[in-house]
Structure 1
Amino acid sequence: MYHTNSNITLTEDLDTVVWKYLDLSKFLDLLMSRKLFMSRSDKFEDQYEGTFSEPTFEEIKRLSKDNPDFLKFYKTHREKVAISSWHINEYESFAMWQIFTQNSEGLAIQSTIGRLQQALAPENNYKQYIGEVNYIDYKKEYIPFDDMFFPFLFKRKSFQYEREVRIITDVADSTITLNDGLKINIDINQLIEKIYIHPKSENWYKNLVIQLVKQLDFNFTIEKSDLESDILI
């Protein structure tokens, strides 16, 4: 179930459009399992993921001199947090297609902040939050650490183009062990407003996606990519 936290920032406009770009196998896994995969926070490619900026780390090191378990606690907490990343954008992003899909194949899920909130299933018995990522200078800027979610809501400025919003799951209060991640119960029809198929995909691929969605008894709208033009000069 979606929780609120006064320290986690999120736009109040629930109609804000968000996207997730993924390949067909991950999309099928979502539809067939009716569960959303979330990556463990220390398994991301970005080596700074879930870590602190330099000014913050210096302060933590000072605190850790008297309390060596302090830093260890933060490191182990990363193993208890799973994240699903979404991209805020009113429109499709050509850059996101390039980054997250390969071989002119893949899909984009279009949703909204409100839909994400409503899609999180109430039977998920761990803390779940949705928050926007802040992009800062890790050399100079301070990340407050008065809240256990803050390391997961800051990234380096060079990632600003991602305009990321995150579903964050914390299993610290449960007996769950996260390996690569966690699959959470999700209301698929609430989560997905529309599906966009890769703009450079071939017709057989588009037809395959349409057929698979139909066979799995989903009826959300499947759109042709806005980046695909019928006009050739």
Structure 2
Amino acid sequence: MYIINDNIKLPENPDTIVWKYLDLSKFLDLLLSKQLFMSRSDKFEDQYEGTFSEPTYEEIKKLSENNPEFLAYYKSHREKVLVSSWHINEYESYAMWQIFTQNSEGLAIQSTIGRLQEALVPEQNFKQYIGEVNYIDYKKEYIPFDNMFFPFMFKRKSFQYEREVRIISDVSDTDLKINDGLKIDVDINQLIEKIYIHPKSENWYKKLVIELVSKLGFDIEIEKSDLESDILI
């Protein structure tokens, strides 16, 4: 079960729509394994992932003067925190299609905040959180560090377009060895409300996705992209 924390913000409405854009291979892996892949936080392209803003870093550095292990622990903790990113949007995002699908054979999973919460399987032996990312000025603004997951709920303002909600797994209290990431158990029927097919995909691809989902035993609504709609002229 995910953990509620007063310092994590989430949209109040559990029906708030969220999206995950991904390629067919990752989507099939999700359905076959019934597990959601979580990326190790220090493996993200953004090198600031899980780090502190300058004002916070200066404070931590002072606290570390007589205790160098304090700062070292914060750095190594990034290897034990795993993230699954979702995009808040009432509608499909053309930009997200472009960024997160490599070709016209991509998919978008539509879900909601409430479904993400219900989809997490409670019998995991590590802490899990769901929260909305805060976008701040890393040169001026402060990130609290009274809780170890806070650095993972902040990103630079340059990434505001992502409108990100995160599932975060913290395995620091376990003996798990993490390479690139970790798969966590999820309830697929709760996780996925609808599937949208890439707007530039061919008809054969749409039929293939429908057939694969059906053969794997899932009754999931599959839609063509709204960006594919015929022009009215």
Give your verdict on TM over 0.5. Answer: yes
SS at match of 2:64: helix
Matched residues, percent identical? 81
Question: Partner letter of residue 227 of structure 1?
Answer: L
Q: What is the Cα deviation at residue 232 of structure 1?
A: 6.6
Question: Partner letter of residue 142 of structure 1?
Answer: Y
1:35 aligns with 2:31: no
What is aligned with 1:121?
121
What is aligned with 1:160?
160
Alignment partners' CA distance in 1, 2:207 and 2:220: 15
Question: Partner letter of residue 165 of structure 1?
Answer: V
Question: Partner letter of residue 9 of structure 1?
Answer: K
In the alignment, is the contact (CA less than 8 A) between 1:9 and 1:132 conserved in 2? yes
Q: What is the Cα deviation at residue 59 of structure 1?
A: 1.1
Aligned Cα RMSD in Å?
0.9
Alignment partners' CA distance in 2, 1:226 and 1:27: 20
Contiguous gaps of at least 5 residues in structure 1: none
In the alignment, is the contact (CA less than 8 A) between 1:7 and 1:147 conserved in 2? no
The Cα offsets for residues 58-104 of structure 1, whole Å up to 9 and x where unpaired, read as 11111111110011110111111100000000000000000001222
Instruction: Flag as ranges the 4+ runs of structure 1 deviating above 3 A.
Output: none
Alignment partners' CA distance in 1, 2:145 and 2:49: 15
Q: What is the Cα deviation at residue 138 of structure 1?
A: 0.7
Alignment partners' CA distance in 2, 1:124 and 1:107: 28
In the alignment, is the contact (CA less than 8 A) between 1:137 and 1:156 conserved in 2? yes
Q: What is the Cα deviation at residue 230 of structure 1?
A: 2.2
Alignment partners' CA distance in 2, 1:72 and 1:8: 25
Q: Any residues of structure 2 matched to 1:148-227 within 5 Å, and which?
A: 148-227=148-227
TM-score normalized by structure 1? 0.98
Alignment partners' CA distance in 2, 1:87 and 1:77: 25
The Cα offsets for residues 178-231 of structure 1, whole Å up to 9 and x where unpaired, read as 111110000000000000000111111111111110110101100111111223
Alignment partners' CA distance in 1, 2:101 and 2:26: 11
Alignment partners' CA distance in 1, 2:194 and 2:15: 14
> Greater CA deviation, 38-47 or 169-178?
169-178
In the alignment, is the contact (CA less than 8 A) between 1:18 and 1:86 conserved in 2? yes
Q: Any residues of structure 2 matched to 1:1-233 within 5 Å, and which?
A: 1-231=1-231, 233=233
> Greater CA deviation, 28-37 or 206-215?
206-215
Alignment partners' CA distance in 1, 2:139 and 2:77: 23
SS at match of 1:121: coil
Alignment partners' CA distance in 2, 1:27 and 1:157: 29
In the alignment, is the contact (CA less than 8 A) between 1:120 and 1:185 conserved in 2? yes
> Greater CA deviation, 72-81 or 16-25?
72-81
In the alignment, is the contact (CA less than 8 A) between 1:195 and 1:222 conserved in 2? yes
Aligned residues: 233
SS at match of 1:227: helix
Alignment partners' CA distance in 2, 1:7 and 1:157: 20
In the alignment, is the contact (CA less than 8 A) between 1:23 and 1:107 conserved in 2? yes
Alignment partners' CA distance in 2, 1:26 and 1:150: 28
> Greater CA deviation, 106-115 or 137-146?
137-146
Alignment partners' CA distance in 1, 2:117 and 2:85: 14
